[in-house]
Structure 1
Amino acid sequence: MDRPARIGILTISDRASAGLYADESGPAIEAVLAEMLTSPFEAISRIVPDGIESVHAGIVGLVDEAGCDLVLTTGGTGPAPRDLTPEATERACEKMLPGFGELMRAKSLERVPTAILSRQTAGIRGRALIVNLPGRPSSIRTTLLAVMPAIPYCLGLIGAARIETDPALVAAFRP
């Protein structure tokens, strides 16, 4: 595709969606993307409360209505009762890519032992890749740096817009 990629940023938080505090995770994702990507992109940000229905609707809206090529979610991946982002992601996707979650947990475990509690995953809906990132801004950077080498190739395989990375920060792998 010869157009700027549309990247959805979906923050999942009961409190941020209710306006009880400012979302820091969504802007952190956009800042890391601006640093990593050399190709133009359009960021489309939304905030939804925790829960299967709200997260599913957020993902579907960003892919089917907003035409996003990549959706990066943040929050809702832990073991707490309201953390249902992976379940909503699985419901929204036709194919799951568990390797993304495995790599993000492995990278996070280098920093914190509680990374084993994370349930991040990834999947494909139509011509879009959905990746669950953690909710902490510092963890977002770590995990996005870990998985970004595979994202441009994956987007190409599914017919999404092409993205280019800054090889000095993260080298995209295209066999």
Structure 2
Amino acid sequence: MRWKVAILTASDRGSRGEREDTSAQVIRELIEEEMNGEIIEYRVVPDEKDEIMAALIEMTDYFRADLILTTGGTGLAARDVTPEATLSVIDRHAPGFAEAMRMYSLQKTPRAMLSRAVSGIRGKTLILNLPGSPKGVSENLSAVIDQLPHALAILTGREGDHGDEA
């Protein structure tokens, strides 16, 4: 099964073209190689809540992504507002993903506890916040990538809750 995936990078410098978006490249590689995903939309926006919200809404409602992976804006800095933007657009929380990513990352670095990343559902789209660094993206996405196909199959109605075909 091929999954439709959108990538959203929240970065002031990236949105101005002052920084290469290597984190999104890591996401693309992992999704295409490990999950048979197709990147259907990619964009970089500044660390502005309204712009992040608008992009998330468009990626779910217009592009109909099965999965949106955000990168950046999940820390403690004043401009880190990706979790707040995500919480503003989701219909339901799916906290297990963010919890699993933090737990896994804590085994690698104590700084993982600084992450405010959230995970939730808008319509039939799963949204996961990832850190802004390529290493953080790789670690966090690796922690949950094996569970994503099953979660997306349930969410999109392609599979029942217990692995039964819907």
Seen in structure 2, the aligned counterparts of structure 1 residues 118 and 12 have a Cα distance that, compared at 3 Å, is same
Q: Which residue in 2 is equivalent to 1:107?
A: 104
Seen in structure 2, the aligned counterparts of structure 1 residues 160 and 59 have a Cα distance that, compared at 3 Å, is farther
Q: Which residue in 2 is equivalent to 1:69?
A: 66
Structure 2, unmatched stretches of 5+, are none
Higher mean Cα deviation, 152-161 or 76-85? 152-161
Shift of 1:144: 0.8
Q: Is the 2:4–2:37 Cα contact (8 Å) retained in structure 1?
A: no
SS at 2:14 equivalent: helix
SS at 2:70 equivalent: strand
RMSD: 1.9
SS at 1:120 equivalent: coil
Count of residue pairs brought into register by the alignment? 162
SS at 1:77 equivalent: coil
Q: Which residue in 2 is equivalent to 1:13?
A: 11
* Identical counterparts, % of pairs: 40
Task: Check if 1:81 corresponds to 2:78.
Answer: yes
Deviation sequence 1:2-44 (CA, Å, 0-9, x none): 7x4210000110000011111111111101112212x352342
33, 36, 44: which is aligned to 1:35? 33
Q: Which residue in 1 is equivalent to 2:156?
A: 159
Shift of 1:174: 4.6
Q: Is the 2:70–2:130 Cα contact (8 Å) retained in structure 1?
A: yes
Seen in structure 2, the aligned counterparts of structure 1 residues 40 and 145 have a Cα distance that, compared at 3 Å, is closer
Seen in structure 2, the aligned counterparts of structure 1 residues 40 and 90 have a Cα distance that, compared at 3 Å, is closer
